[in-house]
Amino acid sequence: MAGHTSPLRALLALALTTSGCGAADLSQTWQLDRLRVLGVQAEPAEIAPGEATALSSLVYVPSGAQLDAQIWFACLPTAADDFGCSLDASALDAFAELDPATATPEELAAALEAAQEAGLIGVEPFLPPRWVAPINALDGLSEQEAREGVSALVNLSAASTGPDAGEEDLELVYKRVPVSRATTPNQNPLLIGLAVDGDLRHPDAEVLVVKPGAEVEIEPILSPDTIEEYIYVTTEGEEEVRTEEPYFTWYAEGGGYEQAISLYPDSARAWTAPETVGFEGVLVVVVRDRRGGMHWTQLHVRVE
Amino acid sequence: MRKTRRWSAHGLLGAALLAPLSAPLLAAGPARAQAPAEEALIREPALISMVEAPYPPAAEAAGLGGRVLLLIEIDATGVPTAVEVLEAAGHGFDEAAVAAARQFRFEPAATASGPVPVAIEFAYEFALAPAPLPPADPAAPPTPEAEAPVNLTGTLVEMGTRRALGSTPLQVIGADGQAQDLMSAPDGRFEARGVAIGAAQVRVVAPGFDDTPTTVEVTAGELTDARIWVKNLGYRDNEVVAVYQKKREPEITRRTLSVAEIRRVPGTFGDPVRVIQNLPGAARGPFGLGLLVIRGANPEDSNVYVDGVEVPIIYHLGGYRSVINADLISSVDYLPGGYQVKYGRSTGGVIDVQSSRTYEDQDKFTWKTDVLDTGLFYKGKPGPKDKWGVQVGARRSYVDAFIPLFTRGSEFVVKPRWFDYQVKADRIDKGQDELTLFAFGFQDKLFIQTPSSFAQSADQDTQGDLSTTYQTHRQILSWTHPFTDTWSLWVQPAVGFDAIEAGLGSSFELTQSFTNLSARAELRYAPSEALTASLGLDSQATYYKIEFAIPFLPSFDQLDDPLAEREPFRQTIDGWYFSPDPYLDVRWRPLGDRLLINPGVRLNTLKIGEAKALLTLDPRLGARVAVGPTTAIKAGTGVYQQPPQGQEFGIDEDELNVNFERGWTHEVGVEQRIAETGTLDWTGFYKGLDRLIVNNPDAEDATVDPIYVNEGVGRIYGMEIMLRKALVDRWFGWVSYTLSKSERNDYPERSEQRTAEGVVTRGPEAWYDYDFDQTHILTVVGGYRLPRDFELSGRFQYVTGNPYTPYDLAVQDLDSDSWAPIQSGAKNTSRLAPYTALDLRADKLFTFKYWQLEVYLDLLNVVRGENPEQLIYNYDYTESAVVRGLPFIASPGFQADFRF
């Protein structure tokens, strides 16, 4: 039968697709040239039922544009679909129809309550996002399963307006927040800065000046205790001590990277500065610990 | 006493050929052409090269004569494939006649579809003519030629092919300027008497041959013997035309092309199988990869056979080369639909590659090299008694050897390569029995070595080297034995092994192996020319073993969770599945050649593990009516069913949750012969599909719920036209056009479901164009043969772009740093721009004494359009761009043929 031909064909297709013959230039993931949500951090990173976590985001807004709002929702995985939380849009109707200029505090409160029942947990800059894991989040799970927990979901919609009329942008992202009774709950990783050609530079350090087209080796420096060991209970019921394997994603307003990802401990990446003298921009690095923890740092650069 | 040999083949051979040779002593008795074809012959076979049998010395001495009646089977190239004595004469006459008949060459018989194999009865008479009368005047002086002794002999040999030039006029001019006009014997030998001493000139004076004289030194008192090399002025004018039509079977739609045409179609690299992509009904695969998309079917729904034995793929890595050496292929049956019940397990089309069984007098060694690979091939009769014909070939690509030269400085190492081999032996002295041993195989490997510091993705488990190896091997024994005039048996057991190995980094491993024991048998009963019934068995027994190691996720509902902890998982699945499919095929000609009715039925079976066996029935009916000497109408209808494929079996072998997929095909067509060399073929078709296997949308736990269900339906309809001029009068060409529609609906019985954007994804209205639906496919191919074996050819293609699903928005998963696209329109509602391209080819044949060299240059995409092969998006689906097809490519190559 011809059935066992498909894996080879799939590999062939993959090889040709990735060969990129004739592909036009498309924007790369590391390019900061539009509204982008680069990271969302929950602090603490992993919570138990009934506990709260505060959420923060790293949003890139291009020069001249203005971030209008960030709307946050959260849900347990039972209420999620392929795009994060499955939202009942009608629950937001009352909220959307309100005119902030004329609405009474009671109308605002009622609309907010209805939206919160649908999962709304924050509207920045007015309502900082904060989520409390339902007390019954782990009901029905065995003790072992509860230690592994479930992944709740947080949705973030960010909207911006450009300098020209009608120039609006929208970003939709989601991430997971582990809810568990883990003995070693996850902590967010901590990036203390970026080492440029071996010299550690903190986020608030002065602007890095480079020559046009210069290649700069940048290494993200993690806090010494940021890579955690944790206990995982295998499907056989055995406890296993595991160590986090963080990875980094790279962004830049100009210039470029050969690769937009690096894996710890080969954390460093080379950034090539743009050829334009006078360019000023920012480089951003986001670290993920693969357990839901996230952190980021940045570096300002100028080409002279 | 003079001896004569007389021969005749009544009612078959051209009178002009027969008259001068056999007029005095035509043998009596019936003779007929026995063509296995159901289609009327429009041209009988004509003897174009005869070899005289030596008169048996003992019989000559005893003054005996005799008549031997032979049955000669002639293939579609005009070469005798078997010679049987029907009426023996004894005294050595039988052996002499058979040996001579084997060396005959015919212009093949032909039907409206092209040359076909036939069998003819042939009477060969040996008679001793009366002794010549003594000279009227014994005192009269004899003529100088008769008186002078033979002092110059020789053999005429064609350069390059080393064929003896029999019955060829030549002239010998002695040193004194006196010329003698001679005729070579059938074995190329000639004798000249009384040639003046000194430098003599020998030249052939036959049209079509170079008449440049060869100088031979004639020495006094000696017999000079010379080999005279003669150059043919147009080897390709005599090129044997093998045809895609070895056996005449009443498929409703069958495309035929000559090998001479095939080899010169640009872009095919001389590969007969790749030519299929230029025929009606064959859609264009992405990047010209050679995916078999026949009449809008999924590539996996079409089956490929070599000598009737199924093989999983027909093209090597990249699709540029078929897995069987082109020199070993005698014909390729391309059956887009309406085929007989001997073929099953497929709802799409069928391709059956037939290996060659004919052998020339000279052994041949071929060396072929182009930009892709190098191959060596031998074909000949190595034994002393010509009992066996043997073919041995091997090829290896060298892309992997060249790539490192162009990637110096890069830490990546990419090594794609293929290798194939063929070994075949045909017993060629067994009369009507056919016995063949055939082994072939191939291996394709792709290896990509990745630097350790290079992160291919954020996923730790996908870091590292990528390797995949695919291999297939087949060993086939084929035996055909006619018990009587009405009963014959064909048996073909085969052993096969297929394996796929793939690995990525340290965590992903996949090994699949399939050991196939297959057997075909067909008992044929032909009580008259009007009726043939074939009872057959197409049996497969396959042992499968699948081993895989993956970073497994602990539960089904965490498959999409990048935060889920992983555990290495390794599992081995093995077992047997059996598919012994019997079939019955009847061909009935109630009105002779004017009407053929071909009913058939096939029982499809599948038994896997302890699961309940699946049984389904495929009834099929075809008919062909000749409504005039040049026109035939054809029609067919039938059920074509395809078993679930490997990955659809499910892990639990005791439970098979899916059944056969089913297609019901109807087609009607007209074949019109235009003048002597043209044909017009029109076919309209409709195929309804149901029980298509699709993902089970209700599956929540893969360990419990069936992953697949038989819920999909489809419909494919359209028409095909092929207007063709055969390779006669120096040029050939064809225009192939397909107008078709291929649609699917995965969940027609489910309640309607829409996306937030209003896109209907389920329900009776959720029809969509299939991924390879190409409304218009136009191919124009033409070639012109210039003098001196120089040839030019070209191909133009226009193909509607493939459909695709539009996206313009995506949601980012911040944990996996990936984007999930959101459809902005229904599935496959947008289309890529059309594909257009013009390819050219030039080739030249050089002939030397002992060998011939063909050099060629393929120029691909000389003119091309935008030719988008695929639409690609940026990371968040807000930008898109097309990946264009291959650029202009100049591909030189050569083939050298040595005969000995």
Nearest CA among B11, B19, B7 for reference residue B103: B7
Among the ranges given (B97-106, B196-205, B240-249, B674-683), the one the predictor scored with the smallest mean pLDDT: B240-249
| The residue type at B757 | E
In this structure, the answer to whether residues B120 and B183 fall within a common structural domain is no
Q: What is the pLDDT of residue B557?
A: 59
Residue B704 falls within a domain, yes or no? yes
For B348, the closest chain A residue by CA position comes to: A2
CA separation for the pair A87, B292 (Å, rounded):
44
Query: What is the average per-residue pLDDT within B559-584?
Result: 85
Does the beta carbon of A140 lie under 8 angstroms from any beta carbon of chain B? no
Looking at beta carbons, which residues of chain A come within 8 Å of B347?
A: none
Interface contact flag, A4 B468, Cβ < 8 Å: no
The pair phi, psi for residue B274, each rounded to 5°, is -70, -20
Which of B500, B567, B646 faces A234 most closely, judged by CB atoms?
B567
**Which of B233, B258, B282 is a domain's end point?**
B233
| Same domain flag for B159 and B110 | no
Q: What is the nearest CA distance from A148 to chain B, expressed in angstroms?
A: 9
> Is the minimum CB–CB distance between B71 and chain A shorter than 8 Å?
no
Please state which of the ranges A190-194, B157-161, B664-668, B799-803 shows the lowest mean pLDDT.
B157-161
In percent, the amount of chain B with pLDDT more than 70 equals: 83
Neighbours of A267 (CB within 10 A): 18
Q: Residue A58: helix, strand or coil by DSSP?
A: strand
**C-beta neighbour count of B430 within 10 angstroms:** 14
- Output the DSSP codes for B280-298: TTBPPPGGG-----BTT--
Shortest CA distance to B609 belongs to which of B544, B702, B538, B659?
Answer: B544
* Cα B721–chain centre separation: 21
The enclosing domain of B753 has a CATH number of 2.40.170.20
Residue B250 maps to a domain: no
Cα nearest neighbour of B579 on chain A: A1
DSSP assigned state of B276? G
A24 neighbors A271 (Cβ within 8 angstroms): no
SS3 B104: coil
The span from the CA of B608 to the CA of B429, in Å, is 43
**What mean pLDDT is predicted for residues A265-283?**
93
The string of pLDDT tens digits covering residues B244-274 is 333 344 455 555 566 666 777 777 777 888 8
- pLDDT for the residue numbered B133: 36
Separation of alpha carbons B217 and B203, rounded Å: 14
CA–CA separation, A51 and A37 (whole Å) = 26
- Predicted confidence band of residue B235 (pLDDT cuts 50, 70, 90): low
Please give the Cα distance from B282 to A99 (Å, whole number): 61
Q: Is residue B272 part of a domain?
A: no
Reading the block at residue B610, the tokens are 């302890």
Contacts of A86 in chain B (CB under 8 A): none
Biggest CA-to-CA distance, chain A: 71
Domain end marker among B174, B202, B233: B233
Residues B101 and B148 in one domain: no
pLDDT score recorded for residue B11: 30
Cβ-based neighbour number of residue A180 at 10 Å: 23
Q: By mean pLDDT, which of A167-181, B15-29, B249-263, B362-376 is the weakest?
A: B15-29
Q: Are B427 and B450 in contact (CB under 8 A)?
A: no
pLDDT in tens, B342-398: 999 999 999 988 888 888 878 899 999 988 889 999 999 988 777 899 999 999 998
Least confident of B294-303, B510-519, B575-584: B294-303
Domain ranges within chain A, ordered by starting residue: 29-182, 186-304
Q: Can you give the CATH number for the domain in which B65 is found?
A: 3.30.2420.10
Q: Which of residues 851-890 of B touch A (CB under 8 A)?
A: 869-870, 872-875, 878-887
Return the sign of the alpha-carbon dihedral for residues B641, B647, B651, B657.
negative
Whether the predicted pLDDT of B499 surpasses 80: yes
Same-domain pairing of B215 and B95: no
Please state, in angstroms and rounded to a whole number, the distance separating the CA atoms of residues B414 and A257: 23
**Residue B652: its pLDDT value, please?**
63
Q: Tell me, yes or no, whether B866 and B893 share the same domain.
A: yes
User: Which has more pLDDT, A163 or B807?
Assistant: B807
A231 touching B (Cβ < 8 Å): no
Task: For B268-314, write each residue's pLDDT tens digit.
Answer: 777 888 888 888 988 887 766 667 889 988 888 999 999 999 998 88
The pLDDT value given to residue A54: 97
Q: Are B623 and B635 in contact (CB under 8 A)?
A: yes
User: pLDDT tens digits for B687-740?
Assistant: 999 999 999 888 876 667 788 999 999 999 999 999 988 776 678 889 999 999
Determine whether the interchain pair A37/B812 forms a contact, defined as Cβ–Cβ distance below 8 Å: yes
- 3-state SS of B171-231? EEECCCCCEEEEECCCCCEEEEECCCCEEEEEEECCCCECCCCEEEEECCCCCEEEEEEEC
Collapsing DSSP to helix, strand or coil, B593 comes out as: helix
Query: Is the domain of B523 the same as that of B374?
Result: yes
Q: Which tens digits make up the pLDDT trace of B77-95?
A: 778 877 777 766 777 787 8
- Tokens 């039988």 sit at which residue? B94
Q: What tokens were used for B646?
A: 């490997």
Residues 492-521 of B with CB under 8 A from A: 498, 500, 502, 510, 512, 514
Q: Which domain holds residue B150?
A: 144-233
Residue A219 in contact with residue A267, Cβ under 8 Å?
yes
Residue B809 lies in a domain: yes
* Residue B522 and residue B630 in one domain: yes
Closest CA to A69 of A108, A126, A153, A130: A126
Q: Is residue B497 included in any domain, yes or no?
A: yes
Handedness of CA B767, B771, B772, B776 (dihedral sign): positive
d(CA A143, CA A147): 6
| Cβ distance of A7 and B510 shorter than 8 Å | yes
Closest residue by Cα to residue A220 from A138, A289, A142 = A289
Domain boundary among B96, B128, B160: B128
Higher pLDDT, B466 or B239: B466
Which comes out higher in pLDDT, residue B19 or B644? B644
Contact of A175 with A129, CB cutoff 8 Å: no
**Does residue B677 sit in the same domain as residue B800?**
yes
Would the CB atoms of A16 and B317 count as touching at under 8 Å? Answer: no
Q: Is residue B277 a part of any domain in this protein?
A: no
pLDDT score at B515: 96
Does one domain contain both B716 and B830?
yes
Q: Percent of chain B at pLDDT above 90?
A: 36
Q: Which residue has the higher pLDDT, A103 or A76?
A: A76
Average confidence (pLDDT) over B182-188: 88
Contact across the interface for B301 and A27, Cβ inside 8 Å: no
Whether residue B156 sits in one domain with residue B88: no
Peptide bond into A125 cis (omega under 30): yes
The mean pLDDT value for A143-163 works out to 90
Measured CA to CA, the distance from residue B900 to residue B890 in angstroms comes to 33
CATH number, position B182: 2.60.40.1120
State the Cα–Cα distance between residues B895 and A12, nearest whole angstrom: 29
Determine the length of chain B.
900
Which residues on B lie below 8 Å from A247 (Cβ)? 455, 458, 460
Q: What is the predicted pLDDT for the residue at B42?
A: 58
Which are the contacts of B89, defined by CB distance < 8 A and separation ≥ 6? B66, B67, B68, B97, B126
Taking the mean position of all CA atoms in its chain, how far away is CA B413? 35
Q: Give the Cα separation of A71 and A154 in Å (integer).
A: 10
Tokens for B501, please give them: 């190995």
Statement: residue A39 has pLDDT above 50: yes
In this structure, is residue B317 part of a structural domain? no
The model's pLDDT over B428-471, given as tens digits with 9 standing for 90+, comes to 876 778 899 999 999 998 877 777 677 777 777 777 778 889 99
Considering the domain architecture, whether residues B184 and B90 belong to the same structural domain is answered as no
Closest CA to B587 of B251, B113, B245: B251
Residues of A in contact with B565 (CB under 8 A): 148, 232, 242
Asked if pLDDT for residue B3 goes beyond 50, the answer is: no
Residue pLDDT, tens place only, B32-67 = 344 443 455 656 677 777 777 777 777 777 666 677
Structure tokens at B666: 């109807």
- How far apart CA B102 and CA B74 sit, in angstroms, is 10
Task: Identify which has the larger pLDDT, A18 or B354.
Answer: B354
In the prediction, which pLDDT does B156 show? 92
Gap between the Cα atoms of A207 and A199, Å rounded = 14
Residue A18 pLDDT greater than 80, yes or no: no
CB B800 within 8 A of CB B776: yes
pLDDT of residue B63: 65
Q: Cβ separation of B643 and A175 shorter than 8 Å?
A: no
CA–CA gap between residue A297 and residue A283 (Å, rounded): 9
Q: Of B797, B805, B839, B847, which Cα lies nearest the Cα of B822?
A: B805
**ipTM (interface pTM):** 0.90
Where b means 16+ CB within 10 Å and e means fewer, B516-532 reads: bebbbbbebebeeeeeb
Residue A13 DSSP label: H
Residue B337 lies in a domain: no
Paired sense of beta strands B3-8 and A256-257, if any = unpaired
Which letter does DSSP use for residue A79 in this model? G
In total, chain A counts a number of residues equal to 304
Phi/psi zone of residue B710: left (φ > 0), alpha (ψ -120 to 50 degrees), beta? beta
User: By the CB < 8 Å criterion, does B833 face chain A?
Assistant: no
- Mapped onto helix, strand or coil, the DSSP state of residue A120 is strand
DSSP string, B345-361: S-SS-EEEEEEP----S
Q: Please choose, from the candidates A19, A119, A7, the residue with its C-alpha nearest in 3D space to the C-alpha of residue B548.
A: A7
Closest alpha carbon within chain B to A2? B312
Residue B789: burial class (beta carbons within 10 Å; 0-12, 13-18, 19+) = buried
Q: Residue B622's beta-bridge partner residues?
A: B598, B636
Q: How confident is the model at residue B554 (pLDDT cuts 50, 70, 90)?
A: low
Same domain, B29 and B157: no
Q: What whole-number distance in Å separates Cα of residue A46 and Cα of residue B770?
A: 45
**Mean pLDDT score across all residues of chain A:** 86
| Residue B607 phi, psi dihedral angles, 5° rounding | -130, 120
CATH number at A186-304: 2.60.40.10
How far, in whole angstroms, is CA B823 from its chain's centroid? 43
Distance of CA B599 to the CA centre of its chain: 26
Query: What is the number of structural domains in chain B?
Result: 3
